[in-house]
Amino acid sequence: MSDIVGTWQVALSDGVHKVEFEHGTTSGKRIIRVDGKEILRRDWLFKLVGRESFKIGKHQCTINIDAISGFAYEYTLDVDGKPLEKFSENRSKISRTWTLALDGVDYRIVLEKDTLDVWVNGQRIDAEADFLDDGGTQTAFDIAGHPAVLKAVSTGYRRSGINHALFVDDNEIPVAKE
């Protein structure tokens, strides 16, 4: 019998990771799974509240277990010291994600705007940016034999900064909502 009490989706550059947490409120058992793989197990704990820490790649994660009332508990996930919602909000400011299907295969492309790293289905790829005459940049790479280009063009406004657009086979791909 499963005692799963919390499930979260954590979107990172290398993909969207599913975190599951089991908590046995009679035994104190704690199990954490990331993408279906068990990464932490504690079978007998007398203290039913507290926190469990683990990593997803380079990101430090913590599940907080707090008593609400009686035998009711609240479970929250922090990533890099921030609640998951705040981490995801900040992440959306420093990255752009596109999803598309090519030849029946789904692809997830992520641009990390702070490092200019490009990820395709969880793998960082080597891609170099070239400067364009209009002041923007263009990064060309390949997705399974399909030419892809990431273009970065200034909006001309300080607040909105730079627009990033992905073109695959000369078709613009809309930014994904994560």
Residue 158 or 7, more confident: 7
Has residue 62 been placed in a domain? yes
Has residue 22 been placed in a domain? yes
Question: What's the pLDDT score for residue 155?
Answer: 67
Regarding whether 107 and 39 lie in a shared domain, the answer is no
**DSSP three-state, residue 68:** strand
Question: What's the pLDDT score for residue 150?
Answer: 93
**DSSP three-state, residue 125:** strand
Regarding whether 73 and 101 lie in a shared domain, the answer is no
Has residue 86 been placed in a domain? no
Contact 129, 137 (CB under 8 A): yes
pLDDT in tens, 11-47: 998 889 999 999 987 777 899 999 999 999 998 777 7
Instruction: Output b/e per residue, 26-53; b: 16+ Cβ within 10 A.
Output: eebebbbbbeeeeeeeeeeeeebeeebe
- Global pTM reads 0.76
Regarding whether 57 and 14 lie in a shared domain, the answer is yes
Has residue 87 been placed in a domain? no
Has residue 89 been placed in a domain? no
Regarding whether 75 and 8 lie in a shared domain, the answer is yes
Bridge partner residues of 115 (DSSP): none
Contacting residues for 65 by C-beta, under 8 A, at least 6 apart: 23, 30, 48, 49, 50, 51, 52, 73, 74, 75
Among 80, 114, 137, identify where a domain stops.
80
Has residue 64 been placed in a domain? yes
Has residue 149 been placed in a domain? yes
| Domains: count for the chain | 2
Where do runs of H (alpha helix) occur along 65-118?
Answer: 84-94
What is the residue-averaged pLDDT of the chain? Answer: 88
- Nearest 5°: CA angle at 39, between 52 and 117? 95
Among 58, 80, 102, identify where a domain stops.
80
In the block, residue with structure tokens 């029946």: 104
Q: Where residue 171 falls among pLDDT bands split at 50, 70, 90?
A: very high
Q: How far from 18 is each of 36, 46, 154, CA to CA, in Å?
A: 8, 27, 35
Regarding whether 131 and 70 lie in a shared domain, the answer is no
How far apart are the C-alpha atoms of 162 and 74, rounded to whole Å? 40
Question: What's the pLDDT score for residue 143?
Answer: 92
Among 22, 49, 80, identify where a domain stops.
80
Regarding whether 162 and 109 lie in a shared domain, the answer is yes
Has residue 88 been placed in a domain? no
Regarding whether 61 and 131 lie in a shared domain, the answer is no
pLDDT in tens, 77-88: 999 999 999 999
Question: What's the pLDDT score for residue 163?
Answer: 85
Q: Which domain covers residue 36, as residue numbers? A: 4-80
**DSSP three-state, residue 89:** helix
pLDDT in tens, 104-132: 999 999 998 888 889 999 899 988 788 87
Regarding whether 100 and 65 lie in a shared domain, the answer is no
Regarding whether 115 and 72 lie in a shared domain, the answer is no
CATH of the domain at 120: 2.40.128.180
Mean pLDDT of 41-59: 88
